[in-house]
Amino acid sequence: MSATTVPARPAHPVTERVLQALAVSKRGCEELIPESDWLAKLARAEATGRPLRIKLGLDPTAPDIHVGHTVVLNKMRQLQDLGHTVIFLIGDFTSMIGDPSGRNTTRPPLTREQIEANAQTYFAQAGMVLDRAKTEIRYNSEWSDPLGARGMIQLAAKYTLARMLERDDFTKRFRAGSPIGIHELLYPLMQGYDSVALQADLELGGTDQKFNLLVGRALQQEYGQEPQCILTMPLLEGLDGVEKMSKSKNNYIGITEDANTMFAKTMSIGDAQMWRWYTLLSFRSEDEIARLRAEVAGGRNPMDAKVMLGKEIAARFHGAAAADAAEEDFRLRAGGGIPEHIAEVALAGAPLAIGVLLKRCGLVPSTSEAMRLVEQGGVRVDGGVVADKGLKIGAGTVVVQVGKRKFARVTLTA
């Protein structure tokens, strides 16, 4: 599907402030479609004082948000700080269809109960990035439910199957003879109709959402509206530096994780990957990042830059003091020390088998997991590696450690 339109000539002067707003919009983005239209919209907003309407839709397919999601949320916040209206759209209706983006099989739709449970935490977590007081929260069931069968048919008449099959994942599945549900063809239409209902000036999304965003632009034209512009952001690679950040791949940093975990996970990424994270996650200016990168290239320890990034991410969600403490904790653990603040646990029934003790302390989910960790050398008692799965701990106080980050000071009584 083509995104080409006649370029809009700014009817209002393009001031230095407008050019700065354009630069903010483009930082780290993959595509801005069409840039000339967005420049015209920014100039109009500057001249008239009427903020633009900027939309981001997220389907509550999981209960938690990770820092990969914040790439596009950060962009929303930057545009929000320029004075524009941001709309955080929860796709409670579209979630029941299931987004086919990037899929080679039909995505199982969620139940209403799953959607409602996930949606409860979505904006609470997104509000850790956005200015809650200046964010418009909407649910697409507001206008999708009332459409009914007649409205759905009228909407479907505004788009063709040929254009729908231009979508890459549909094309591949069609050629491979893989099933494509009729309901999946409705998903881009319903997401596009959201832009009509909200009269969006700009829609944000990941690169995998480009087709859906273009459908919204086309439908707005069908309904006689000024078409929205589209801004896509790259998908952030996870801790492994290869796969897209995902909880299912266990390569993520959750935005509700504690500061120590956030910092330590950031420190685990590769030096080359760090600069991409700076571009997509940091609020530092591009000039500042460029200077820091030049210093590292000139011989400065890349660990210094990574520490700055880890502390920035931790501080955003937990504050500067917690970020400082996370750095201290990380350095202490890296040196083989014990953190200053660890869980204090009192247990009766000494002597206790090491597996039972670890489970009762809450350091492992099961004794079988404890045994697996012992076999791998991942359990320590008072700093010494436990090699004996039959070890029993007698009365007294010991410090037990599982992996690099889990500690407990345990006082055992008979």
Strand order in the sheet with 85-90: 31-33, 229-233, 202-206, 53-58, 85-90, 135-139
Distance in angstroms (rounded) separating the CA atoms of residues 229 and 167? 19
Identify the domain containing residue 310 by its residue range. 259-334
C-alpha 8/C-alpha 29 separation (Å) is: 21
Tokens of 247: 């909880």
Q: Which residue has the higher pLDDT, 11 or 33?
A: 33
Residue 4 domain flag: no
pTM score over 0.85: no
* Same structural domain, 139 and 58: yes
Q: What is the number of domains present in the chain?
A: 3
Domain membership of residue 250 (yes or no) is: no
> Is 6 among the domain residues?
no
> In terms of domains, do 205 and 320 share one?
no
d(CA 238, CA 243): 6
Does residue 246 fall inside a structural domain? no
pLDDT at 108: 64
Whether residues 167 and 86 share a domain: the answer is yes
Domain CATH for 109: 3.40.50.620
Stretch among 161-165, 260-264, 309-313 having the lowest mean pLDDT:
161-165
Token couple for 177: 């003879």
CATH code of the domain covering residue 277: 1.10.240
Cα distance between residue 377 and residue 388, in whole Å: 10
pLDDT digits (tens, 9 = 90+) for 346-396: 999 889 999 999 999 999 999 998 998 888 888 988 777 888 889 988 888
Terminal CA-to-CA distance of the chain, rounded, Å? 73
CB 46 within 8 A of CB 62: no
| 37/173 same-domain check | yes
pLDDT digits (tens, 9 = 90+) for 123-173: 788 888 899 888 998 999 999 999 999 999 999 999 888 888 877 777 888
Mean pLDDT of 48-68: 87
DSSP type of residue 253: -
Q: CATH code at 357?
A: 3.10.290.10
